[in-house]
Amino acid sequence: MVLNRQSEVAISLPGVRRFVRRLRGALELDGRDFNVCFVGNREIERLNATYRGKRRATDVLAFPYEERTSVKRFGLRRLASAFDVGGTGLRKVRVQRPVRREKKERKQAPALQEFSGFLGDIVISAHTARRNARAEGNSTANEIRWLIVHGLLHLLGYDHETDVGEMTALELSLRDHLGIAGERASQKKKIKNQKAKVKNKK
């Protein structure tokens, strides 16, 4: 489901829905679904403060339907190996088993609909997406596609703060496969810095 709860930035909801279908097809997420909701800066700041303890607006938040153990321990790591991050192409992969539940309490977005195969909610600040797009010399539509990919990978268990560039590299490969135009210099710089950190530790 794609929802728009803001009026500041014009968004093509049919276009977003088409992209979501393409993204689900690329990852072969058969029988698994997620919501995308566009909000204003005030609402995403409230959610960021409530769920992450950070009193500031951000571009995207991901609310998994259920808390997950490490993606690297329980099978979904093969999603990363399904993409050639060297830029030579994509091999599809089917997610064949569900991610195991954590014992701790599940964290849910407001009014989360419960049903089998539901991954969670992606909440995007349309205002911040537009601002970031302008800073990157990109279009708002492409920035939104970036954020949906980013949010979905979080729902699948990836964490760009701990995976040493794996999630960011996968985002770049998905961009190429899905034909998301435009370059994001900040993403490439982030990968370069993360790889340098790993090299220095060896």
Is pLDDT of 89 > 60? Answer: no
Is pLDDT of 93 > 50? Answer: no
Q: For residue 131, what pLDDT band results from cuts at 50, 70 and 90? A: very high
Residue 176 maps to which CATH number?
3.40.390.30
**Range from 17-21, 74-78, 126-130 carrying the lowest mean pLDDT:** 74-78
Arithmetic mean of pLDDT, 161-165 = 66
**Encoded tokens for 71:** 């993606």
Kindly report the backbone phi and psi dihedral angles of residue 119, in degrees, each rounded to the nearest multiple of 5, phi listed first.
-85, -40
pLDDT tens digits, residue range 28-41? 887 788 999 999 99
CA distance 103 to 89: 38
Q: What is the pLDDT of residue 163?
A: 63
Q: What is the pLDDT of residue 59?
A: 94
**Encoded tokens for 115:** 């049903």
DSSP classification of residue 193: H
Amino acid at 160: H
The pLDDT > 70 percentage for the chain reads 61
β-sheet bridge partners, residue 120: 34, 64
Higher pLDDT, 67 or 136: 136
Arithmetic mean of pLDDT, 142-161 = 87
DSSP classification of residue 75: S
| Three-state DSSP state, 191 | helix
* The residue count for the chain: 202
Q: For residue 15, what pLDDT band results from cuts at 50, 70 and 90? A: very high
CA distance 50 to 42: 12
CA distance 178 to 83: 12
pTM beyond cutoff 0.85: no
pLDDT tens digits, residue range 173-182? 888 888 886 5
Q: What is the pLDDT of residue 18?
A: 94
β-sheet bridge partners, residue 121: 35, 63
Count of the separate structural domains present in the chain: 1
Domain that holds residue 23: 2-201
Arithmetic mean of pLDDT, 40-56 = 92
